[in-house]
Structure 1
Amino acid sequence: MGSSSAYANRQEQDLAGHLDELDERARVSRSTAGKFALFALLAAAIAAFFLFDLGAYLTLDNLKAQQAGLAALLADRPLQVIGGFFLVYVAATALSLPGAAILTLAAGAIFGLWLGTLIVSFASAIGASLAFLSSRYLLRDWVKARFGRRIAAIDRGVEQDGAFYLLTLRLIPAFPFFLINLAMGLTAMKLPVFYLVSQVGMLLGTLVFVNAGTQLAAISSTSDILSPALIGSFVLLGLFPLVARWMLGLVKQRRLYRRWKRPRRFDRNLVVIGGGAGGLVTAYIAATVRAKVTLVEAGKMGGDCLNTGCVPSKALIRSARAAHELRHAQDYGLKGGEPTVDFSAVMRRIGEVITTIEPADSVERYTGLGVDVRLGHAMILDPWTVEIADGEGRTSRLTTRSIVIAAGGAPFVPDLPGVKEAGVLTSETMWDALARRDSVPGRMVIVGGGPIGTEMAQAFARLGSQVTLVEGGERILPKDDLEASALVLDTLRREGVTILLGHKALRCEGKSLVVEADGAETSLPFDEIVMAVGRRARLKGYGLEALGIDTDQPLVLSDKLQTVLPNIYAAGDVVGSYQFTHVAAHQAWFAAVNALFGTFKSFKVDYRVIPWTTFTDPEVAQVGHTEATAAKEGIAYEVVRFPLDHLDRAVAEGARSGFVKLLVVPGKDRILGVTIVAAGAGEMLAEYVLAMKHGIGLNKMLGTIHAYPTMTEANKYAAGEWKKAHKPEALLNWVERFHGWRR
């Protein structure tokens, strides 16, 4: 009975699914039919206009000849003439037909200044709105599908400043109004905003033309109306919205800063808080352009990346890979075996790597570059004053025109029962703790399946730990390509890592972590436990709350990296969008330049091409869209895939596990996204980052010589796979016939 009921339920669900699919297909079909019908109607109307030479009626000479007759007709049938003229004007504007200027003159000649202005003002705004809606209905979906990311950026700009820019364009008759109508229809501007701004913006030009129409006999051409002086006046008037916006910005800024007294002079051009990647690059740029800059660091110069992040983790990964290679030496014709891991020596080597690199980030180097480096804690007292407390209890104050907050981030540790008592480690605290150990941890639990968790899980497993990786989601590396995530999952499991997906950490009981999945609890004993579930911006303790800057995650910034106080900027992990060292350095350029020169010229931070790499073995390198993100944003794409199984260098290296996957615009060679899973994938990715940044397509990559045998040949071969999928079959058939004829 239960089986029959379950079968019936499945049948009912299948039927519902089919009905939904049919309904969706019908909806798409109706939409396509509607668009085709509207397009056909518009095309027929425009064709009729030119076929029957209706433009001959919209000339100055014809208007003068018909003026008396139209005036008499108006006196005899006023409502019919007004209504008919109104509809003709709306139709001409909606269809973007030439002759609007003549019709506006006609309104003045027939109806006089005030009635003519009233008629044209509403008719032009309604007609423009119809053109706007037609453009949106017919073309916006297509444009979004092909240029999704660019359109999204334009939409954000339109949402913020669209009304100002539309008003500016409407006030300048030199811009063809019909192009403005059609272009705005492709954006996300709301119809009421478009209508109101259009009606107001076109009113002055309407008055000029209608008034000229009342003096029709004195006009020999439209150039008599739009003299260079008048056009210049319109241009100046068109700048008024932008000037008004600038003035409103000044008023708003005065209100923001009214609680504080601005210094008459400043000790510094810039104070940078934080000596990690973002702060160091910011200070470096400021010193390079000869600004007076102070860099404040409360901990170690170099920040997390040098001391507790990228550098030590990659040094550990290299030692772990050496152990893995020794264990599998027989694969290369050598006598191998289980390596003896001197964990103390491994940790000493990590310290030596840091020591070798740290002079590049040192106080001495930056002092030599012209940066005033202060070791201490910074507190922002007001928008222009920073107090610095050094380690000996002394304080000093500096006034500065601008401030850049680059304080970095800290690992997030969930507040679970027993976590503190268990001595939980993070990516920040694990290095000092592990340096005190004589041997690798026997049992290690890592919570979090992101880049840090997967890298550390593989590294410690290769060094001999029994590693259990706990991930609450359905897969590891959730931000990366699904296929890449699955390959790394399989690799880690083959290497002995126990991976528990869909498991939620509940509490620690002594040296055991209790996790739950499907209502069942499991206890995982450990010698060391590492929390790698994410990072939070380090924003507390700098006085930001007293300034009205919200320190909740993430920090709210303008597209120029400004906080709510425009002279206080942020860069690096405190921004929260992309917590990578290279992104912190990228943001630092924008923060430094905008902070120092923003009064004259500022720049919006560019996030279009952001690469990242997870340093598992094989590595996972990503830039641009994955299939999941492209589908979520409604971006059309096709997939090109090249496996490494038979790449000569990969075979020689014993590194055949992996692939190059490209997402490209359908039918074109423009790259939307790249995922590489390979040994050295991070290095291989650089070519694609350059290509995407500068608009280089797959055709040019295919025509570029790559050294043999190298892993980067895979990039060229991937481009070749795209080319094969798009070879011109019809032309090749003719070429085949040509060769047959030649034989």
Structure 2
Amino acid sequence: MVHRIKTDLCIIGGGSGGLSVAAGAVQMGANVVLVEGGKMGGDCLNYGCVPSKALIAAGKHAHAMTTGAPFGVAPAKPKVDYAAAKDHVRNVIAGIEPHDSVERFEGLGVNVITEYGTFISPTELQAGDTIITARRFVISTGSSPFVPPIPGLDKVTHYTNEDIFELREQPKHLLVIGGGPIGMELAQAHVRLGSKVTVIEGFKALGKDDPEMAAIALERLRAEGIVIEEDALAEEISQKGDVITVKTKDGRSFKGSHLLMAVGRKPNTDKLNLEAAGIEPTRGGIKVDASLKTTNKRVYAIGDVAGGLQFTHMAGYHAGVIIKSALFGLPSKASSAHIPWATYIDPEMAQVGLTEAQAREEHGDKLEVVRFEYAENDRARSELATTGLIKVMIVKGRPVGASIVGAQAGELIQTWALVIANKLKIGAVAAMVAPYPTLGEINKRAAGAYYTPRLFESDFVKKVVRFVQRF
């Protein structure tokens, strides 16, 4: 028997964005239904951010055992228990799961329905034997790994980020197709844990990042033993016994024991029946306007499925945007100009706002780029973490972008995210007093570099100083 319910807000998808909306809305007094047919917590908790960072941490500990000689610590070959490393991954997920659980959200007052949702009209969604009529809907179904139809792949054992963390047998030689953030993070984690790794990238590895920053990171990754093959578009994949072979269009051939596909993401819209709701899809997800409303003005789309930047924190930001609109009826628009992101390889890479190339194209001669090397930072020297660089793009005294490669780049970028989000001038960072010695001084020194030619290379300043000294 079909059961019908009415609600203020129906959220489709229990990932980070959907859970943020649900928690905020129900605690502000709205009646909320959350529909999730898969795992609560979505990709980030179960297959993405959390497990990957846990495995990266295991690799970091193994790597540390081999790199102590410059500090007077004798290197030792680590004895890696790959299955135990995966136990660590599982334990980290388990520790976070209660926060994202059905029980917690039901405790907050959310009506959680553990079924997949399908639109049956512009105002109705069916989930199992329940039909939900809602004043507003929020689609937050996220994205999944895209697996291209490479000839032979369907006959070969292969992994994506959705099942690689369940693998208990350590790969002897991991082949990674895709040299983006996911591919490179997992490649470095595995090589540090003792696997051979070959990355096969059809274009340029880390190709969406600032090329100068990417080159610094890739040099380190290659030095650690990762073979990175660029301009290598996979054309055919085969398996004979325990050996997997990837052939590329230019005739190269690569052999390994395991295969990870990390070539991109696709939006999770297949089950939604968007047409019935009058919602227009796009190649990247769902068409939305600046307020994140779809072509059905009762329905919002947030996070990966909205077709923009695919980051957990982006979905969380979207949640705040639509709560203001859906709950309070206030105008609210989303922007990506102030959204930072990081790639958690070693050295880390981070970006907010425009890259140098983007800033030059947009602002031309008005652009100034200031730089500061990690090697000039005392804390970096003390920890032998001198591989790194920061670049800040500035227009009329106001930062419009920052790129960082180096230790703790993901932490350092937050200063520039704050500056850009609040439209502060470079002087706000220059005026900051950072504790010594910290990597945070890198940000201050970069800001100071903006004033160096204005203060120390200015004839006018020198004339003023000489005049004042007469008295």
Question: Normalising TM by the smaller chain, what interval?
Answer: over 0.9
Superposed CA deviations along residues 415-471 of structure 1, whole A, max 9, x for unmatched, are: 011112111211112112x13x2xx21111111111111111111111111111111
Match of 1:301 among 33, 40, 61: 40
Q: TM-score, normalised by structure 2?
A: 0.94
Q: Residue 205 of structure 2 aligns to a residue in which SS?
A: coil
Residues 224-249 of structure 1 deviation map (CA, whole Å, 9 limit, x = unaligned) = xxxxxxxxxxxxxxxxxxxxxxxxxx
Pairing 1:92-107 to 2, within 5 Å after superposition? none
Indicate conservation of the 8 Å contact 1:567/1:595, yes or no: no
Contact kept? 2:116, 2:271, Cα under 8 Å: no
The answer to whether the 8 A contact 2:119-2:125 is kept is yes
Question: One-letter code of the match for 1:580?
Answer: F
One-letter amino acid of the structure 2 residue matched with residue 686 of structure 1: Q
Distance 1:546 1:339, change over 3 A: same
Paired position in structure 2 for 1:169: none
Distance 1:691 1:740 in 2: 36
Deviation at 1:567, TM superposition (A): 0.2
Where does residue 569 of structure 1 map in the other structure? Answer: 300
Name the SS for the 1:521 alignment partner: coil
In the other structure, the counterpart of 1:127 is none
Task: Tell me how far apart the structure 2 counterparts of residues 731 and 605 of structure 1 sit (CA, whole Å).
Answer: 44
1:702–1:720 CA contact under 8 A, matched in 2: yes
Q: CA RMSD in A?
A: 1.7
Q: CA deviation at 1:736?
A: 4.8
Q: CA deviation at 1:739?
A: 6.6
Once the 2 structures are TM-superposed, how far is the Cα of residue 514 of structure 1 from its aligned partner?
3.0
Aligned partner letter, 1:647: N
Q: Tell me, yes or no, if structure 1 residue 443 matches structure 2 residue 173.
A: yes
Higher relative contact order (CA 8 A, sep 6+): 2
Give the share of equivalent positions with the same residue, in percent.
40
Partner of 1:533: 263
Could you tell me how far apart the structure 1 residues matched to 2:245 and 2:135 are? 50
2:209 to 480, 483, 490: 480
1:712 maps to which residue? Answer: 440
3-state secondary structure, aligned to 1:336: coil
**8 Å Cα contact 2:13-2:141 kept in structure 1:** yes
Whichever residue aligns with residue 132 of structure 2, its letter is L
**Partners of 1:717 and 1:289 in 2: how far apart?**
43
Q: Secondary structure at the match of 2:69?
A: helix
1:399 aligned partner:
133
What does residue 422 of structure 2 align with? Answer: 694
Structure 2 match to 1:642: 372
Matches within 5 A, 1:152-551: 267-389=6-128, 395-432=129-166, 434-435=167-168, 437=169, 440-473=170-203, 475-510=204-239, 511-516=243-248, 520-551=250-281
User: What is the CA distance between 1:294 and its match in structure 2?
Assistant: 0.6
Q: How much has 1:485 moved relative to structure 2?
A: 0.6
Partner of 2:320: 589
The amino acid across from 2:466 in the alignment is R
**In 1, are the aligned partners of 2:391 and 2:404 still within 8 Å (CA)?**
yes
Deviation string for 1:622-642 (max 9, x for gaps)? 000111222333554111000
CA contact (8 A) 1:363 1:373 kept: yes
1:613 aligns with 2:347: no
Aligned pairs for 1:15-94 (under 5 A) are none
How many angstroms apart in 2 are the aligned matches of 1:472 and 1:423? 21
SS of aligned partner of 2:217 = helix
CA–CA separation in structure 1 for the residues paired with 2:55 and 2:413: 23
**Contact between 1:388 and 1:397, CA under 8 Å: does it hold in 2?**
yes
Decide which structure has greater strand share: 2
Q: Tell me, yes or no, if the aligned pair for 2:177 and 2:199 is still in contact at 8 Å.
A: yes
Equivalents in 2 of 1:550, 1:689: separation in Å?
Answer: 32
Higher helix share: 1
Q: CA deviation at 1:730?
A: 2.7
How many angstroms apart in 2 are the aligned matches of 1:704 and 1:347? 42
Q: Check the 8 A contact 1:484/1:677 in 2, yes or no.
A: yes
SS where residue 327 of structure 1 aligns?
Answer: coil
Pair 1:671-2:394 in alignment = no
Letter in 2 for 1:421: K
Distance 1:266 1:632, change over 3 A: farther
Partners of 2:382 and 2:16 lie apart in 1 by 37
Q: Is the 8 A contact 2:236 2:248 kept in 1?
A: no
Q: Which residue is 2:386 aligned to?
A: 656
633-642 or 646-655, larger mean C-alpha shift:
633-642
The letter of the residue matching 1:693 is A
Match of 1:240 in 2: none
2:331 and 2:122 map into 1 onto residues whose CA distance is 19
Distance 1:568 1:739 in 2: 66
Q: Is the 8 A contact 2:5 2:131 kept in 1?
A: no
CA apart distance, 1:540: 0.7
Deviation at 1:381, TM superposition (A): 1.2
Deviation string 1:641-688 (CA, Å, 9 cap, x unpaired) is 0001121111111211101111111xx321011011121111111111
Q: Contact 2:244–2:258 (CA<8 Å) still a contact in 1?
A: no
Q: Distance in 1 between matches of 2:11 and 2:469?
A: 73
Give the aligned partner of residue 362 of structure 2.
Answer: 633
Amino acid at match of 2:413: L
Cα distance in 1 for partners of 2:248, 2:253 equals 9
SS at match of 2:65: helix
1:241-299 deviation line (CA, Å, top 9, x unaligned): xxxxxxxxxxxxxxxxxxxxxxxx97100110000011101111211220000111111
- Compute the displacement of 1:725 (Å): 2.3
**In 1: Cα distance, 2:114 partner to 2:140 partner:** 15
Distance 1:410 1:266 in 2: 30
Q: Counterpart of 1:737 in 2: which secondary structure?
A: helix
Question: C-alpha distance in 1, partners of 2:387/2:406?
Answer: 7
Larger Rg: 1
Shift in alpha-carbon separation, 1:624–1:497, aligned structure 2, 3 A: same
Q: For residue 24 of structure 1, what is the aligned residue in structure 2?
A: none
| Secondary structure, aligned partner of 2:318 | helix
Q: Which runs of 5+ in 1 are unaligned?
A: 1-264, 390-394
Contact 1:276 1:407 in 2 (8 A): yes
SS at match of 1:477: coil
Alpha-carbon separation, structure 2, partners of 1:516 and 1:377: 39
- Once the 2 structures are TM-superposed, how far is the Cα of residue 741 of structure 1 from its aligned partner? 4.0
User: How many pairs does the alignment contain?
Assistant: 462
